[in-house]
């Protein structure tokens, strides 16, 4: 039996377990990636391991998310990251160089390699044939230390692309179509592997758009073959030596096959406030728009912005619309400037923003009160933009540009308007300028780590022993995101290295009294619905509740990365055995679990609701290794006491 692309790469990096679907495997990652919002906790954790230098083949620290230097906090964090990079042997990508995912596949990604990144959209590199997985920063720190990363062997789903996109229809529409079909939970426990003749018409940046938003279907990762298109891209980047052909064997076996016909695909839009709330653009052409944002790691490539500029050329941005544009990387921005594309955008009325995540994560460019913002980024969760009551729509760059002109959700029409887009692609050559990377010294032992007053030590959770009797501090519905738990905004990210402070905004957009209740209760439990913790990999969404005394989460289901983060920080991830029991619990009910460590070991836990005098069962879906981590009080305690038994 042949192997899929993903199986071939996993096999080459497997150090523990076997590739049986659902079984636990341990793999080594060649590359690690952190950024300024998640990386601070990662390097604080790495410090505690007393390892002088990273052991991964290549580690990069990117400064790309919160570049607003409104006070000392962000600049202090950036200096902390610079000094930790120098001390531990990590390459630093300076502020202004661009977004981590886009830079990495341009300048460092190698087909057949593995990458773990402290961001859920680290999957972007799958467009280059790299197996990329998003995780919490603590797991990335462990990979930097040379440790294996453990996960359940995913199913491999074949996504077969047929035909070719029409002008005005984009790679963004392919992933929106997949979201429309399978939803934000449809990829859980799966790797989406792309194949078919339609793949041959997609550039590496277009493929990266699709693998980037594989995170939105909940997939472990997504991957494309490494082929002649890949080779052409690497040649243009001056990296032909990094090319390796990787394709699935003809007799490879997949758990499922999904077919998308590109010939029939139309421009699509994800409506508020979930990426899978997808309809045709033509169904929303009466929606009036206040703001348009073109850019992000999803759609900030040269061709993305060149196509938007072509639609706008000779026209003006509607007077009721604020249009901002941000290239994904400095390299891309320089190419756009050389070719006069930035000048064309400015002439049309666009505002040119920094090469950063910015607006995508609610750091600048927040819409007006109750405003409608049309974006080419990857998430449209409530509050994601920095304005809690704004309505966010996700579209392709072509659709965004047309919308900026009309002031209403619009698509590029058939005929001449669409045909002008047909031959716009990536530049013939990329000019290489890597001067914004700072390479570490051979020996960083003498480097002193910079610590501003906002940088606080990483809190270590208490070890769970005996019985657990705690009140329910909060009860939430389905699809609670990490943005709901710790908001993705300038306010949040400026506090990223200070857990006591960031804990004060926990659930601020969902439950304004949560923090006050949690402090009064001292120890507590959270109850959630389906897909609790979906979205970003930021472990602050686990650490902040833990710091406030949350000892467990009971939910109908828990998103993969958030579940791992809960385990890493000693918070029990419990799942209702019977989902109907969710309705039998109210906020402030007292829940009791007897002999918690023994029940963790059995992986079946009985919970007594003492307030209502009823019992129900929950499951703790963890491996023996993860059970040991929980009983140890989280991963840092586990590492220090590897031989401790439960």
Q: Check which CATH number belongs to the domain holding 350 and give it.
A: 3.30.499.10
**Is 83 among the domain residues?**
yes
Give me the residue label for tokens 């992933």.
Answer: 175
How would residue 26 be classed by pLDDT, with cut points 50, 70 and 90?
very high
Q: H or E element: which one contains 469?
A: strand 468-475
Q: How far apart are CA 354 and CA 90, in angstroms?
A: 24
Q: Is the pLDDT of residue 416 over 70?
A: no
Q: Tell me how far CA of residue 411 lies from CA of 325, 401, 422, in angstroms.
A: 18, 9, 15
pLDDT in tens, 324-356: 999 999 999 999 999 999 999 999 999 999 999
CATH number for the domain including 564?
3.20.19.10
Please, which residues bridge with residue 59 across strands?
A: 32
Q: How far apart are CA 285 and CA 476, in angstroms?
A: 34
Is the previous residue joined to 273 through a cis bond, with omega within 30 degrees of 0? yes
Q: How far apart are CA 454 and CA 495, in angstroms?
A: 7
Q: Are 176 and 184 in contact (CB under 8 A)?
A: no
Q: Is the pLDDT of residue 448 over 90?
A: yes
Neighbours of 241 (CB within 10 A): 9
pLDDT in tens, 472-505: 999 999 999 998 999 876 667 778 889 999 999 9
Q: What was the pLDDT predicted at 488?
A: 72
Please, which residues bridge with residue 607 across strands?
A: 616
Neighbours of 369 (CB within 10 A): 10
**Is 431 among the domain residues?**
no
**Is 141 among the domain residues?**
yes
CA 627 to the chain's CA centroid: 26
Q: How far apart are CA 161 and CA 213, in angstroms?
A: 16
Nearest alpha carbon to residue 332 among 417, 422, 236: 236
pLDDT in tens, 528-562: 999 999 988 888 999 999 999 999 999 999 999 99
Q: How far apart are CA 372 and CA 292, in angstroms?
A: 9
Residues 167 and 41 in one domain: yes
Q: How far apart are CA 65 and CA 588, in angstroms?
A: 37
Mean pLDDT of 247-275: 97
Return the structure tokens found at 476: 């939430």
Residues 47 and 89 in one domain: yes
**Is 589 among the domain residues?**
yes
CA 43 to the chain's CA centroid: 19
pLDDT in tens, 77-131: 999 999 999 999 999 999 999 999 999 999 999 999 999 999 999 999 999 999 9
Q: What was the pLDDT predicted at 604?
A: 83
- The 3 state secondary structure assigned to 544-606 is HHHHCCEEEEEECCECHHHHHHHHHCCCEEEEECCHHHHHHCCCCCEEEECCHHHHHHHCEEE
Return the structure tokens found at 371: 């405003």
Residues 258 and 365 in one domain: no
Choose between 358 and 432: higher pLDDT: 432
Q: How far apart are CA 219 and CA 478, in angstroms?
A: 18
Q: What was the pLDDT predicted at 644?
A: 44
pLDDT in tens, 128-165: 999 999 999 999 999 999 999 999 999 999 999 999 99
Which residue segment(s) compose the domain that 526 sits in? 468-644
Q: H or E element: which one contains 560?
A: helix 560-568
**Is 430 among the domain residues?**
no
**Is 452 among the domain residues?**
no
Q: Are 58 and 115 in contact (CB under 8 A)?
A: no
pLDDT in tens, 50-86: 899 999 999 999 999 989 888 898 999 999 999 999 9
Domain boundary among 387, 416, 445: 416
Residues 55 and 80 in one domain: yes
Phi, psi of 2 (to 5 degrees): -75, 175
Q: For a pLDDT cut of 70, what percent of the chain falls above it? A: 98
Domain boundary among 264, 295, 311: 264
Choose between 228 and 597: higher pLDDT: 228
Please, which residues bridge with residue 438 across strands?
A: 92
Mean pLDDT of 586-594: 96
Q: How far apart are CA 162 and CA 259, in angstroms?
A: 7
Q: What was the pLDDT predicted at 636?
A: 84
Residues 168 and 285 in one domain: no
C-alpha dihedral over 122, 125, 129, 130, to 10 degrees?
-50
Q: What was the pLDDT predicted at 330?
A: 97
Phi, psi of 377 (to 5 degrees): -80, -165
Residues 398 and 501 in one domain: no
Return the structure tokens found at 232: 């052409």
Please tell me what DSSP assigns to residue 481.
Answer: B
How would residue 361 be classed by pLDDT, with cut points 50, 70 and 90?
confident
Sign, CA torsion 492/104/116/294: positive
* Strand locations in 328-404 (E): 351-352, 372-375, 391-394
Q: For a pLDDT cut of 90, what percent of the chain falls above it? A: 83
Mean pLDDT of 619-629: 90
Residues 249 and 284 in one domain: no
Q: How far apart are CA 528 and CA 526, in angstroms?
A: 7
Q: How far apart are CA 201 and CA 165, in angstroms?
A: 8
Q: Is the pLDDT of residue 418 over 80?
A: no
**Is 425 among the domain residues?**
no
Q: What was the pLDDT predicted at 632?
A: 87
State the number of CA atoms in the 13 A half-sphere of 11 facing the CB: 8
Q: Is the pLDDT of residue 643 over 70?
A: no
**Burial degree of 251 (CB within 10 A; 0-12, 13-18, 19+):** exposed
Q: Are 601 and 464 in contact (CB under 8 A)?
A: no
Per-residue burial over 588-599, b = 16 or more CB atoms within 10 Å of its CB, e = otherwise: ebebebeebeeb
Residues 503 and 599 in one domain: yes
Q: Are 267 and 169 in contact (CB under 8 A)?
A: yes
Mean pLDDT of 255-263: 98
pLDDT in tens, 195-224: 999 999 999 999 999 999 999 999 999 999
Q: How far apart are CA 97 and CA 355, in angstroms?
A: 7
Q: Is the pLDDT of residue 645 over 60?
A: no
Residues 516 and 612 in one domain: yes
Q: How far apart are CA 326 and CA 353, in angstroms?
A: 5
**Is 151 among the domain residues?**
yes
Q: Which residue intervals of 183-293 are DSSP H helices? A: 204-212, 228-236
Residues 272 and 191 in one domain: no
Please, which residues bridge with residue 609 across strands?
A: 591, 614
Residues 611 and 590 in one domain: yes
Return the structure tokens found at 306: 């060149």
Query: Coil, strand or helix: which one is 482?
Result: helix
Contacts of 489 (CB under 8 A, 6+ apart): 361, 362, 363, 383, 386
Q: What was the pLDDT predicted at 637?
A: 83
Q: Is the pLDDT of residue 25 over 90?
A: yes
Q: What was the pLDDT predicted at 144?
A: 97
Q: What was the pLDDT predicted at 308?
A: 97
Residues 283 and 148 in one domain: no
- Looking at the 3D structure of the chain, how many domains does it have? 3
């Amino acid at each position: 039996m042949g192997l899929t692309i993903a199986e071939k790469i996993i096999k080459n990096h497997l150090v523990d377990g076997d590739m049986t679907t659902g079984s636990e495997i341990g793999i080594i990652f060649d590359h690690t990636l952190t950024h300024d919002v998640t990386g601070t906790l990662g390097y604080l954790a790495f410090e505690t391991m007393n390892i002088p230098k990273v052991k991964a083949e290549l580690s990069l620290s990117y400064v790309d998310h919160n570049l607003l230097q409104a006070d000392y906090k962000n600049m202090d964090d950036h200096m902390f990251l610079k000094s930790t990079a120098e001390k531990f042997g990590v390459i630093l990508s300076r502020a202004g160089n661009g977004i981590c995912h886009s830079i990495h596949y341009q300048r460092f990604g190698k087909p057949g390699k593995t990458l773990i990144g402290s961001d859920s959209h680290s999957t972007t590199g799958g467009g280059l044939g790299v197996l990329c997985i998003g995780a919490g920063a603590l797991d990335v720190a462990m990979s930097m230390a040379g440790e294996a990363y453990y996960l359940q062997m995913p199913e491999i789903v074949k996504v077969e692309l047929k035909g070719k996109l029409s002008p005005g229809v984009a790679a963004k529409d392919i992933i929106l179509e997949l979201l429309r079909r399978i939803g934000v939970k449809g990829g859980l426990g799966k790797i989406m592997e792309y194949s078919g003749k339609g793949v041959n018409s997609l550039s590496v940046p277009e493929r990266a758009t699709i693998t980037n938003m594989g995170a939105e279907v909940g997939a472990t990762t997504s991957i494309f073959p490494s082929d002649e298109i890949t080779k052409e891209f690497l040649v243009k980047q001056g990296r032909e030596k990094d090319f390796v052909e990787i394709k699935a064997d003809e007799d490879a076996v997949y758990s499922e096959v999904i077919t998308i016909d590109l010939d029939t695909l139309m421009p699509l839009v994800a409506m508020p406030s979930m990426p899978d709330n997808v309809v045709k653009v033509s169904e929303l052409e009466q929606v009036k728009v206040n703001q348009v944002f073109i850019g992000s790691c999803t759609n900030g490539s040269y061709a993305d912005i060149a196509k938007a500029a072509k639609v706008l050329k000779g026209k003006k941005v509607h007077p009721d619309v604020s249009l901002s544009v941000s290239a994904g990387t400095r390299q891309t921005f320089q190419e756009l400037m050389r070719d006069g594309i930035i000048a064309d955008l400015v002439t049309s009325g666009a505002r040119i923003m920094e090469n950063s995540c910015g607006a995508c994560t609610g750091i600048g460019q927040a819409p007006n009160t109750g405003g409608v913002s049309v974006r080419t980024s990857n998430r449209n969760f409530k509050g994601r933009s920095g304005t809690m009551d704004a309505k966010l729509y996700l579209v392709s760059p072509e659709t965004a540009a047309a919308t900026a002109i009309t002031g209403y959700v619009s698509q590029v029409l058939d005929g001449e308007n669409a045909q002008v887009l047909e031959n716009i692609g990536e530049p013939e050559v990329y000019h290489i300028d890597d001067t914004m990377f700072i390479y570490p010294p051979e020996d960083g032992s003498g480097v002193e780590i910079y610590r501003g007053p906002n940088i606080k030590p990483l809190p270590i959770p208490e070890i769970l022993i005996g019985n657990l009797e705690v009140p329910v501090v909060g009860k939430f519905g389905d699809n609670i995101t990490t943005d709901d738990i710790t908001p993705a905004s300038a306010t949040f990210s400026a506090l990223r290295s200070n857990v006591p402070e960031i804990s004060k905004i926990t659930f601020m957009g969902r439950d304004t009294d949560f923090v006050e209740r949690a402090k009064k209760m001292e120890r507590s439990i959270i109850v959630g619905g389906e897909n609790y913790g979906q979205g970003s990999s930021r472990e602050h969404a686990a650490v902040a509740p833990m710091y406030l005394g949350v000892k467990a989460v009971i939910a109908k289901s828990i998103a993969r990365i958030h579940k791992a983060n809960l385990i890493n920080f000693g918070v029990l991830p419990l799942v209702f055995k019977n989902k109907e029991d969710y309705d039998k619990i109210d906020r402030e009910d007292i829940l009791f679990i007897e002999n918690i460590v023994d029940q963790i070991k059995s992986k079946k836990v009985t919970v007594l609701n003492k307030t209502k005098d009823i019992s129900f069962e929950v499951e703790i879906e963890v491996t023996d290794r993860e059970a040991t981590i929980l009983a140890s009080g989280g991963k840092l305690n586990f590492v220090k006491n590897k031989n401790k038994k439960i």
